[in-house]
């Protein structure tokens, strides 16, 4: 009976730890915001159409437009693909901490 209690307690601790790690990773991701002005400038200089870029990163053109206007958020994978399509480094477009 005591062994079962410890197994259950251990499972609860592991589950809590997993959620804690996920939440911490999400907060860390959200604190890394990209400077939209730099991304817009990169799009203008690249000469690529936003519809083509949206197709390449797997989102709709309206979603990309909403992201560039600051009305919507893109997932981390879409942000990474956007930077790859534009051939820019993430460090170059990260907002500076205030």
Alpha-carbon Rg of the chain, whole angstroms?
Answer: 20
CATH of domain 34-93: 1.10.260.40
Distance CA 50, CA 65 (A): 8
35-54: pLDDT as tens digits: 888 999 999 999 999 999 99
Q: Report the SS3 class of residue 34.
A: strand
Whether residue 33 contacts residue 1, with contact meaning beta carbons closer than 8 Å, is answered with no
User: Over the stretch 38-95, which tens digit does the pLDDT of each residue have?
Assistant: 999 999 999 999 999 999 999 999 999 999 998 888 888 888 899 999 999 888 888 7
- This prediction has a pTM of 0.64
């Amino acid at each position: 009976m005591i062994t079962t209690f410890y197994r259950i307690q251990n499972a609860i601790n592991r589950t809590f730890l997993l959620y804690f790690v996920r939440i911490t990773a999400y907060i860390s991701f959200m604190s890394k915001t990209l400077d939209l002005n730099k991304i817009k400038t990169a799009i203008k200089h690249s000469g690529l159409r936003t519809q083509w870029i949206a197709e390449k990163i797997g989102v709709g053109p309206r979603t990309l437009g909403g992201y560039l206007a600051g009305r919507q958020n893109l997932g981390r994978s879409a942000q990474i693909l956007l930077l790859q399509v534009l051939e820019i480094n993430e460090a170059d477009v990260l907002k500076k901490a205030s």
